[in-house]
Amino acid sequence: MRDAATPPAPTHLDPAELRTLDAHWRAANYLAVGQIYLMANPLLTEPLRPEHIKPRLLGHWGTSPGLNLVHTHLNRVIKARDLEALCVWGPGHGGPAVLANSWLDGTYGETYPDVGRDRSGMERLFRQFSFPGGVPSHVAPETPGSIHEGGELGYSLTHAYGAAFDNPRLLVACVIGDGEAETGPLAASWHATKFLDPVHDGAVLPILHLNGYKIANPAVLARIPHDELDALLRGYGHDPLYVVGNDPATVHDALAAAMDRALDRIGDIQRRARSGGETERPHWPAIVLRTPKGWTGPREVDGLPVEGTWRAHQVPLAGVRDHVDHRHQLEAWLRSYRPEELFDASGAPRPDVLACVPEGSRRLGASPHANGGLLLRELPLPPLERHAVEVDKPGTVLHEPTRVLGGMLRAVMAATARRRDFRVVGPDETASNRLEALYEATGKAWQAETVGTDEHLSHDGRVMEVLSEHLCQGWLEGYLLTGRHGLFSSYEAFAHIVDSMVNQHIKWLRTARRLPWRRPIASLNYLLTSHVWRQDHNGFSHQDPGFVDHVLNKSPEVVRVYLPPDANTLLCVAEHALRSRDYVNVIVAGKQPCFDWLTLEEARAHCARGAGAWTWAGTEDDGEPDAVLACAGDVPTQETLAAASLLRRHLPELAVRVVNVVDMARLLPPGEHPHGMPDFEYDALFTPDKPVIFAYHGYPWLIHRLCYRRTGHPHLHVRGYRERGTTTTPFDMVVRNDLDRYRLVMDVVDRVPGLGVRAVALRQAMADARTRHHAWIREHGTDLPEVADWTWTG
């Protein structure tokens, strides 16, 4: 080990405490190794035989001793200071460590009674780990005390901050692996120091664990000079403390001292801020822990160094079942922890081992914050009547839907002013997305410097703006997982930045829903706006409606997608989303002026059905229509209603039904999604055999993917975005992608048989209008007056 700083002499801990801490650490290490290797003989009451060893050795040893060390020392300070604490384990692929600690503190056995603190429980703990039908090798929803999946790396610190916001009594420790520290999201997360309010938020204690190696490579932060690392952490706004070594007693002492110093400083910071005296942004402590990878494991295997190297990353000794030398080495490794001192004959941990463990809900495995549903309160939502817009006649009045929503969100923000359990996050776009009414009820969280031209910044604001979708997503996830509510408003195209994060959150929810002890949490709600059809300022680079496709690939019990066509339907959808639990709700809605089609009452009824015919817009009688004009999304709805108007005027004998879809999952069969529409209902709405021209907001094939099993699918013709994007006017965008009113009319005429000469003339007129559009826009740079001035006339 390269000692960047000399650790203090072992003087912080008294010998008895050092002994009990070390006993706890050894016990956790023993249990971690046991999980990776053993399926029987957990207490080593007999020599290891092949049949004690699992046939498939899977898991990550390398990070486990470090996690065990941190957990042991968190136990100590939690108990000594009666702390309310949570820990986010960034290197959560070291699942054996966190499971070992949860088993030791008793929470595992309380959660899963057949895995209690006795011999048979220990055997089950070992066997189930990474075993088919057992538990994942990572920290996961199944792990008591966890809010952070140890899968994809990069999100520990942003989750930790999310958990700390509006939890003023909470300490959130966060172990960051030196591998994870190389990721973008983690690198950006450090700057959350500028967003954490020492008065209303809890504290985050980052513990950067430098064990030097990833799977196969050194880690960057472990291989820069001490001065550079120190500068980096100070640059992030931290006051770092260093713990370095490979001698257990020395490291125990240094880590205990560092934790005490860190917690003393956190206490000082909070006291000063909360007494009202201090308004300067504090320099929060952070701990750098530099210990060997796979510490206490095999030093060498087959002549190659393992401890302290990348070879310790997963399973240091392979072929243990068949290879007697390796089996002996494993046994010696296990016995090096002196299990007989740690567990009694029944398999229970001895009192020394448990001396540092806190009690009840103070245990990290039992924190109610890690099972947020326990703490969740119903969100106080205002009556929508207060925020709905008046609609006397459809398609004549314009509102910016997200601005209308902003009024409702302002009311929610105001109603939670004391409770502080609602936040809105977004990458610098809350006002751009027309939600600025929020600022009448709260500010934007900001602890950095301010100048006179700033607006709406405040230490205690509950709107969070940072130009990082990763941070927005991670903060909100951490906030929701600890039992609060929120909304993420984003440009539609850039939601893809968090594709992989939402994957992981959906996986978390899908698994958590199946665990009876995990209580439902508030849904993760996206408002995707500044959408593909209205990128007037930005063009092609900002045009991508595919987040919906991405989300609809995932577990149907979790995902919901809504495309409200106007302001009142947006209100209804948002109310539903904010009330819901354990979902990921994706709402796509425009921020530009958009016609209002439905009164609040009509919007409620429409949203309750999720999809329905707008009989006032069509021309059908009681019988079956000749064609269906279906639509989903605000711009396609406008074009569809304009097409319906044209058909009404020019081909009144044609019976056209207009169908609007708000809830995309309604299109799926019931077996594929809980919201799926039965076939008889689908057939009644869309007909089994008439042409359906579906104007859809996004990639057209999504509609085919949802509807391919329906009887009427061969008659379904979808228009949508086909990557024909550029910098142009809104109407030119729909023309380029063949989603415009003229094209939709042509599509109907092309598909309904037996139309006469008037239809031929209409088709030609529509084609001419498109030609006229192209000429006009080249000349004027604006839309045809007949389009720009259009209102719905029925």
User: 193 to 212, contacts with a copy of itself by CB under 8 A?
Assistant: 194, 212
Alpha carbons 749 and 760: distance in angstroms, whole number: 8
Report the residue number, 190 or 343, with the smaller CB distance to a copy of itself: 190
Q: Which residues ranging from 506 to 525 are in contact with a copy of itself (CB under 8 A)?
A: 507, 510-511
> Does residue 355 touch a copy of itself according to CB under 8 A?
no
Report the residue number, 142 or 626, with the smaller CB distance to a copy of itself: 142
Binding mask 523-562 for a copy of itself (x = CB under 8 A): -------------xxxxxxx-x-x--xx--xxx-------
SS3 assignment for 105-120: CCHHHHHCHHHCCCHH
In the set 79, 119, 223, 751, which binds a copy of itself (CB under 8 A)? 223
> Does residue 228 touch a copy of itself according to CB under 8 A?
yes
| Cβ-based neighbours of 312, under 8 Å, separated by 6 or more | 61, 62, 213, 293, 294, 297, 306
Is the separation of the CB atoms in 411 and 435 below 8 Å? no
Question: Tokens 């399973």 — which residue?
Answer: 315
In the set 9, 15, 46, 132, which binds a copy of itself (CB under 8 A)? 132
Report the residue number, 310 or 337, with the smaller CB distance to a copy of itself: 310
Shortest Cβ 72–a copy of itself spacing (Å): 26
Question: What does DSSP assign to residue 286?
Answer: E
Burial 133-148 (b: 16+ CB within 10 A, else e): eebbbbbbbbbbbbbb
Alpha carbons 443 and 194: distance in angstroms, whole number: 14
Shortest Cβ 486–a copy of itself spacing (Å): 18
CB burial of residue 728 (10 Å; 0-12, 13-18, 19+): middle
Q: How far is CA 159 from CA 176, 363, 477, 529, 581, in A?
A: 12, 19, 6, 24, 19
Question: Tokens 């540092």 — which residue?
Answer: 356
Q: Which residues ranging from 33 to 72 are in contact with a copy of itself (CB under 8 A)?
A: 39, 54-56, 58-60
> Does residue 140 touch a copy of itself according to CB under 8 A?
yes
In this structure, are strands 611-613 and 627-632 parallel, antiparallel, or unpaired?
A: unpaired
Q: Which residues ranging from 81 to 110 are in contact with a copy of itself (CB under 8 A)?
A: 93
Binding span for a copy of itself by CB under 8 A among 80-88, 127-135, 479-487, 653-661: 127-135
Q: CA torsion sign, 115 to 121 to 122 to 124?
A: negative
Binding mask 743-762 for a copy of itself (x = CB under 8 A): --------------------
Shortest Cβ 40–a copy of itself spacing (Å): 12
> Does residue 503 touch a copy of itself according to CB under 8 A?
yes
SS3 assignment for 125-185: HHHHECCCCCECCCCCCCCCCCCCCCCCCCCHHHHHHHHHCCCCCEEEEEEEECCHHHCHH
Report the residue number, 267 or 319, with the smaller CB distance to a copy of itself: 319
Q: Which residues ranging from 251 to 310 are in contact with a copy of itself (CB under 8 A)?
A: 305, 308-310
Task: Tell me, by CB under 8 A, how many residues bind a copy of itself.
Answer: 129
In the set 440, 499, 689, 786, which binds a copy of itself (CB under 8 A)? 499
Of the candidates 683, 411, 703, the one whose C-alpha atom is nearest the C-alpha of residue 549 is 703
Q: Which residues ranging from 427 to 466 are in contact with a copy of itself (CB under 8 A)?
A: 428-432, 444, 446, 448-451, 453-455, 457, 465-466
Report the residue number, 597 or 776, with the smaller CB distance to a copy of itself: 776
Binding span for a copy of itself by CB under 8 A among 16-24, 381-389, 467-475, 479-487: 467-475
In the set 94, 136, 202, 298, which binds a copy of itself (CB under 8 A)? 136
Question: Tokens 């958590």 — which residue?
Answer: 512
Alpha carbons 344 and 31: distance in angstroms, whole number: 14
Strands (E), 334-447: 398-399, 422-426, 444-445
> Does residue 397 touch a copy of itself according to CB under 8 A?
no
Cα radius of gyration rounded to whole Å, the chain: 30
How close are the terminal C-alpha atoms of the chain, in Å? 79
In the set 16, 215, 760, 761, which binds a copy of itself (CB under 8 A)? 215
Q: CA torsion sign, 15 to 20 to 23 to 29?
A: negative
Q: Which residues ranging from 633 to 692 are in contact with a copy of itself (CB under 8 A)?
A: none
Q: Which backbone phi and psi does 587 adopt, to 5 degrees?
A: -115, 125
Binding mask 2-21 for a copy of itself (x = CB under 8 A): x-------------------
SS3 403: helix
Shortest Cβ 736–a copy of itself spacing (Å): 10
Binding span for a copy of itself by CB under 8 A among 230-238, 339-347, 631-639, 648-656: 230-238
In the set 205, 471, 746, 787, which binds a copy of itself (CB under 8 A)? 471
Shortest Cβ 547–a copy of itself spacing (Å): 9
Question: Structure tokens of 77?
Answer: 């300070």
Binding span for a copy of itself by CB under 8 A among 175-183, 571-579, 620-628, 738-746: 175-183
Shortest Cβ 530–a copy of itself spacing (Å): 11
